[in-house]
A and B are shown apart, each in its own frame.
Chain A
Amino acid sequence: MKNLIDIKDLSIKEIDELIEVAKDIMQEPEKYSEKCKHKKLATLFFEPSTRTRLSFEAAMMELGGNVLGFSEASSSSTAKGESVSDTIKVVGGYSDIIAMRHPKEGAPLVASFRSDVPIINAGDGGHNHPTQTLTDLLTISCEKGRLDNLTIGLCGDLKFGRTVHSLITAMSRYKNIKFVLISPDELKIPEYVKEEILDKNKIEYIETNDLEEHMDKLDILYMTRVQKERFFNEEDYLRLKDYYILNKNKLKNAKEDLVIMHPLPRVNEISTEVDDDKRACYFKQAKYGKYIRMALILKLLEIK
Chain B
Amino acid sequence: MNIDSIRNGIVIDHIQAKKGLEIFDALKLGELDCSVAIITNARSQKMGRKDIIKIDKNIDLDLDILGYLDPNITINIIKDDKRVKKFHVELPKEIVNIIKCKNPRCITSVEQELKHVFVLTDKEKKIYRCKYCETIKED
Contact = CB atoms under 8 A, between A and B. Distances in A.
Contact of B109 (A83, A85, A102, A104): A104
A265 to B, nearest CB: 22
Given A105-B107, A125-B105, A110 B113 contact: no
A110 B132 contact: yes
A274 interface: no
A83 B113 contact: yes
B59 interface: no
A107 B130 CA distance: 13
B132 A106 contact: yes
A84 B111 contact: yes
The CB with the most chain A CB atoms within 10 A, among B109, B122, B134, is that of B134
B106 A106 contact: yes
A29 interface: no
A105 B102 CA distance: 12
Given A104-B105, A105-B103, A105-B106, A110 B133 contact: no
What is the predominant secondary structure among interface residues of chain A facing chain B?
A: mixed
B114 interface: yes
B131 interface: yes
B107 A107 contact: yes
B136 A104 contact: no
Nearest to B108: A106
Sorting the interface of chain A by its residue count into under 10, 10 to 19, 20 to 34 or 35 or more gives 10 to 19
A84 B107 contact: yes
A107 B103 CA distance: 13
B124 to A, nearest CB: 11
Contacts of A192: 136
A109 B119 CA distance: 14
B125 to A, nearest CB: 9
Contacts of A84: 107, 111
A109 B134 CA distance: 12
B84 interface: no
A74 B135 CA distance: 27
B110 interface: yes
Interface in A55-108: 83-85, 102-107
A104 B110 contact: yes
Interface in B80-132: 103, 105-111, 113-114, 122, 130-132
A173 interface: no
Interface of B: 103, 105-111, 113-114, 122, 130-134, 136
19 contacts: A83-B113, A84-B107, A84-B111, A85-B111, A103-B105, A104-B107, A104-B110, A105-B103, A105-B106, A105-B134, A106-B107, A106-B108, A106-B131, A109-B131, A110-B114, A110-B132, A124-B107, A127-B105, A127-B134
